[in-house]
Structure 1
Amino acid sequence: MTATVTVHELEARDQKISQVKVFTDRAEVRRLVKVSLKSGVNEVILKNLTQNLFAGSMRVEGRGNATIYDVVVKNSPSSSGDSVSPKIATIRSTLKEEKARLQSIEDRGSIVQKSIENLDKVFGQVGGGLVNPPKEGGSSLNEGTLTSLKNFFDFYGSNSETYREKLRAIETEHREQQEKVRKVEQELNLLQSEQHRNSYSQSAIITLECSQESDAELDIIYQVNNSGWSPSYDIRVDTEKSSMQITYFGKIRQHTNEDWNGAPLVLSTAQPCLGGKIPELGTLEAVFRSRYVHQQAPMVRATPGGGNYALFGAAPSQMVQAQTSPFSARVEPPPPPMEVAVASEVTQNTLSTEFKILREATIPHGTNDHKVTVGIVTLSPKLVHETVPSKNSSAFLTASAINTSELAFLSGDSSVYLNNAFVAKSHLKNVSPGERFTCSLGVDTAIRVEYKPAKKYHEEGGYITKHSANVTEQTIYVKNTRSEQPVLLTIKHHVPRSTDEKIRVKLVSPSATPYDPEKATNESENAEPVEGAKFNSSNNLEWTVKLAPNSSQDLVIKYVVEHPKDETVQYHEKF
């Protein structure tokens, strides 16, 4: 004898959300279901789950005197699937009216078209009678006939023109009405497709068994797509206090076709979309290369020369402080600034970090930008000036700092403020705790850089083996227009790297320290610069000079490239 099954039907959206964990590309929703179980087998049916449910993501955890046997997710008709929405009914009525107007226009056009055809037919018959007059009875033209013909031609001309004007107007009206009908049909099709998609919903059937009546709690956990979060930052640098404050925001988007009402939020840096499968290696076979090799010209990335981009704000030296009169009225101190609620708990997992948001949030379907504050970090940056004059003849003020917080910064957009003035939109790369990073603060107009035309000349030499030497001499003019403080300016410039033993590159000026990989492992390349020239890991020259107030310098970079006389050297920039 089959045991009686007790069925408990519940609406999914009515069950309380106990947590929403938002990943960068999806979200995990946890709902709490309370149910009173009967003795024997019980089926808890959770109806109308969102269609954005990830397949295979449903799992159930429970508390109570019962055993969970299985969990099944299937499509089932939704509660509103059989009814027609009022909006669809209204659009159907509108479409019927627009089609009726279109049919009326077509009828009027048909009548005018028939009138033109009949008029042309009569005109043709009269013309045929004139060309082929009757064989008997003498001439067919007389004074009365000519008068009748003149009257007929006048009648035909005026009426034919009137009918054709009417037909052209009707054709224009017909095209406009056809476009109206097409738009209404398109809107109706979209709504009907959406209703068809919503006519079936996901339902979860949870089978439990208990020995006696008892109350139980079920945690229904599932993942949904069309949701996620992305980081954004406000970076505020104060040059007087030498401080950098980074406000870490999380922007949540939610298009899951369900509302998150009163949901405790957790933002996770885990990225499920990347998966966890280790790539496999195939077999690397060594074979002889074919004698015929197609030579393809390498791609050369064209880069413009110097050029000033938009300038951001004024230099600190150009900022004038307001003078306060000793006779001015007493000013009440301003109220204290508001505090900002940040994430109350940060959990470091093995492969990710989770930020628990302080308060519950309500995020309805269709939300694009629900912003919460993850944390506020205050750092002590080093302010340096950098320029790449071959690309852009501007000096950029850069803040370099070490992330001393426990927060991992994900890659995201940032708004940069210098001394409370907005200077630029930037992009922050991934930064782990304890890692040094740099942030561009925009162009410093007080530092002027001029990239002068390079001098290039050719030499030849050698008694036995002839060789050629290409000499490049580049002059860079730099000036500090500030009158109160010196600055350290780092110039970054290309020096070619040889890829063949027959090509020899020699830096003549300035004298530079070669790159040392062992030393670089102990010292960060983003460390505070010191005066002098050195090569970095990309074989680019980094020349740091100290500019005194109201001073200028001409910096000369000179190098020689030697190669066999019968060979030609090309330069390709690779990133």
Structure 2
Amino acid sequence: MKTIFVLITLLSFSVIQAQEQKEISSEISDVVVYLKGAQVTRTANISVGSGKSTLLFKGLTPRLNSNSLQVAAGNGITILSVNHSIDYLESQKSDALAQKLVNRRDELQDSISLNKNTRQIYIKEQEMLISNQSIGGQQTGVNVEQLIRATDFFRQRLTEIEKTLFENNRTTLEMQRRLDKINRQLNELNARDDQPTSTIKVTISTNRPVSAPVELTYTVHDARWQPFYDIRVKDTDEPVTLVYKAKVFQSTDENWHNVNLTLSTGNPTISNYKPELQPWFLYPAPVRMPEVMETMSIVEDDVELNEELVIEDKEEARPIRIRGVSSLGKQNVTTVQQQTTTAFEIQIPYTIPSDNQGYDVAVSDHQVKADFQYATVPKRSPHVYLMAHISDWSELNLLPGQANIYFDQTYQGKTVLNPYSSEDTLNLSVGRDPGIIMERELQKDFSSKSFFGNNAKETKAWKITMRNSKNTKATVMVEDQYPVSTNSDIKVELEENSGAKVNPVTGMLNWTLHLAPGETKKLRFIYTVRYPKEMNLIIE
């Protein structure tokens, strides 16, 4: 009787213990993506009785940072502990497409193995027939009828085997091609089998039965976003439209399905500790006397340069402040200015699979006033480029990134925005304009080369012709150059410059031409170089 009572007590205790642990099903609801890394928030609703309970969040990514775990619960719930562990027995669940491909891959692998085994059976049969071609005994022989029947049998059966082997080989190759395609697609989807998962064990305590929401937050490293831009110019009389976009990448082994997405300019992976200076003591280095060696050899490959490199800590990400009207609408994007970072809260849910592919997210756009001007460098290019000069670009506090340029709805190419430049004006090359024609030619009548004594003298004359074939006026900035001497034996003289702005230090020549519709203007600059005639100089 006593034994029965003990068993009942133990069973009751086991039931109570089992009721204390609950496996919680959670969904990813919010994700904050940083320039490097992301913060993931999972939500769940729980119902627990009074006393202690253990909540198990299973099937999470094994890539989460356990030091970043945070749990928030509703009123009446006290969180006692949070523990993280890796579960190697329970693999991650693949998405529907990846799982379908995995199943098809496994079927093809089984079919290929079966085909190969069947092929080996037919090959063995073929070898057996070939090795047993003799009929009759050595003394009895065989009559003609038996020989004909045996020959027909061997021919028919060997032919059937060859056809079967041929068909088997063709089928196997076709299945192998399909298997290769599926494997490539699985690699594209970043799908992997038998990956471990994380389990988060949360111990809570309540004074009464409670039904409340629970939030689980953690960070992952395998996610990032990078800015890129669309620069759209409709007409030179209208402002430039600067569209701010982002590409979001993630390979966290968790798909983000219809999540509330926030893009932050922060970077939790960089150090936030201010560096400290230590006393800098100088000591005289001991003088090392050279050793006298009978034979000295120099092996250049073994020579090393030992340097002490001092690297100043530099913050990788700067905060950005975006002004203007959102391309998603004011109600769909909220810009939050924080002390050191800026966050863009995208109100439209986004789905970002864990495949490390870039997914575009629209952030905002700006109407920016720009001064337009044409520019050309005749020495380097025969084309004339439309330039947009944005003087108040520093107010945007942009991040570096690539930009697609569109002029009048036509794609012109790519450029790079570098907001960290020290220049006051952001210069953007919008594209080539064939309506303004430029020609640069050497005027041989004004160019010469002569010798006098030990010296040589060369004169070069260049003519630049600009013609505006457009029906609107145009302002063109022309850049060219003449050589600059760094040797006292070489003398350079600029004889004619057609009113250019001359920089004698760099040799740069700049003209600003105002061309009316159909107008043509010509520029000419001439320079002379004197140098010792034994000196080999190439002068253009």
TM-score, length of structure 2 as denominator length: 0.66
CA RMSD of aligned residues (A): 5.3
Q: Distance in 1 between matches of 2:165 and 2:536?
A: 70
Please tell me whether the aligned partners of residues 220 and 252 of structure 2 are also in contact (alpha carbons under 8 angstroms): yes
**Of the candidates 82, 92, 108, which is equivalent to residue 122 of structure 2?**
108
- Match runs of 1:241-256 below 5 Å: 241-256=237-252
* Alpha-carbon distance change, 270 to 534 in structure 1, aligned in 2, over 3 angstroms: farther
Please tell me whether the aligned partners of residues 377 and 405 of structure 1 are also in contact (alpha carbons under 8 angstroms): no
Please tell me whether the aligned partners of residues 413 and 425 of structure 1 are also in contact (alpha carbons under 8 angstroms): no
**Of the candidates 34, 57, 65, which is equivalent to residue 46 of structure 1?**
57
* Alpha-carbon distance change, 98 to 220 in structure 1, aligned in 2, over 3 angstroms: closer
Q: Distance in 2 between matches of 1:293 and 1:570?
A: 38
Displacement of 1:212: 7.9
- Match runs of 1:216-365 below 5 Å: 219-239=215-235, 241-272=237-268, 340-342=328-330, 344-349=333-338, 351-357=340-346, 359-365=347-353
Please tell me whether the aligned partners of residues 457 and 529 of structure 2 are also in contact (alpha carbons under 8 angstroms): yes
* Alpha-carbon distance change, 247 to 566 in structure 1, aligned in 2, over 3 angstroms: same
Per-residue CA deviations over 1:136-186 (Å, capped at 9, x if unaligned) read xxxxxxxxxxxx9xxx9xx99x99999998887666556435535655776
- Match runs of 1:402-551 below 5 Å: 402-403=391-392, 407-418=396-407, 420-431=408-419, 436-452=425-441, 458-460=449-451, 466-485=454-473, 487-498=474-485, 505-510=492-497, 532-535=500-503, 540-551=508-519
* Alpha-carbon distance change, 162 to 352 in structure 1, aligned in 2, over 3 angstroms: same
Q: Which amino acid aligns with 1:491?
A: V
Please tell me whether the aligned partners of residues 59 and 91 of structure 2 are also in contact (alpha carbons under 8 angstroms): no
**Of the candidates 19, 30, 33, which is equivalent to residue 41 of structure 2?**
30
Report the equivalent of 2:170.
176
Displacement of 1:549: 2.8
Q: Distance in 2 between matches of 1:422 and 1:76?
A: 53
- Match runs of 1:150-165 below 5 Å: none
Report the equivalent of 2:524.
556
Q: Distance in 2 between matches of 1:423 and 1:356?
A: 30
* Alpha-carbon distance change, 449 to 189 in structure 1, aligned in 2, over 3 angstroms: closer
- Match runs of 1:83-122 below 5 Å: 91-113=105-127, 115=129
Please say which of residues 108-117 and 48-57 is displaced more in the overlay. 108-117
1:267 partner SS: strand
Report the equivalent of 2:6.
none
Report the equivalent of 2:375.
386
Per-residue CA deviations over 1:350-400 (Å, capped at 9, x if unaligned) read 55332222x241415258565443222112211100112333211111121
1:239 partner SS: coil
Q: Which amino acid aligns with 2:501?
A: A
Displacement of 1:275: 5.8
Q: Which amino acid aligns with 2:26?
A: R
Report the equivalent of 1:72.
83
* Alpha-carbon distance change, 339 to 214 in structure 1, aligned in 2, over 3 angstroms: closer
Please tell me whether the aligned partners of residues 64 and 215 of structure 1 are also in contact (alpha carbons under 8 angstroms): no
Please tell me whether the aligned partners of residues 106 and 174 of structure 1 are also in contact (alpha carbons under 8 angstroms): no
Please say which of residues 339-348 and 45-54 is displaced more in the overlay. 339-348
Q: Distance in 2 between matches of 1:535 and 1:58?
A: 61
Please tell me whether the aligned partners of residues 36 and 215 of structure 1 are also in contact (alpha carbons under 8 angstroms): yes
Report the equivalent of 2:323.
none
Q: Which amino acid aligns with 1:402?
A: S
Please tell me whether the aligned partners of residues 257 and 351 of structure 2 are also in contact (alpha carbons under 8 angstroms): yes
Aligned residues: 463
Q: Which amino acid aligns with 1:13?
A: S
Q: Distance in 1 between matches of 2:203 and 2:487?
A: 72
Q: Distance in 2 between matches of 1:542 and 1:279?
A: 46
2:512 partner SS: strand
Please tell me whether the aligned partners of residues 402 and 436 of structure 1 are also in contact (alpha carbons under 8 angstroms): yes
Displacement of 1:556: 2.6
Displacement of 1:448: 0.4
Q: Distance in 2 between matches of 1:421 and 1:89?
A: 46
**Quick one: percent identity of the two aligned structures?**
20
Per-residue CA deviations over 1:453-512 (Å, capped at 9, x if unaligned) read 5867545557xxx55555443332221113452x22112334445555655554444278
Please tell me whether the aligned partners of residues 426 and 440 of structure 1 are also in contact (alpha carbons under 8 angstroms): no
Please say which of residues 212-221 and 39-48 is displaced more in the overlay. 212-221
TM-score, length of structure 1 as denominator length: 0.62
Structure 2: any 5+ residue segments left out of the alignment? 1-15, 139-143, 289-297, 301-325
Displacement of 1:50: 1.9
Please tell me whether the aligned partners of residues 493 and 542 of structure 1 are also in contact (alpha carbons under 8 angstroms): yes
Q: Distance in 2 between matches of 1:568 and 1:276?
A: 57
* Alpha-carbon distance change, 70 to 161 in structure 1, aligned in 2, over 3 angstroms: same
Q: Distance in 1 between matches of 2:458 and 2:534?
A: 13
Please tell me whether the aligned partners of residues 505 and 562 of structure 1 are also in contact (alpha carbons under 8 angstroms): yes
Q: Distance in 2 between matches of 1:443 and 1:263?
A: 42
Q: Distance in 2 between matches of 1:276 and 1:570?
A: 55
Per-residue CA deviations over 1:38-89 (Å, capped at 9, x if unaligned) read 7776544322212343464434466757765654322115656799x78766
* Alpha-carbon distance change, 90 to 345 in structure 1, aligned in 2, over 3 angstroms: closer
Q: Distance in 2 between matches of 1:396 and 1:176?
A: 58
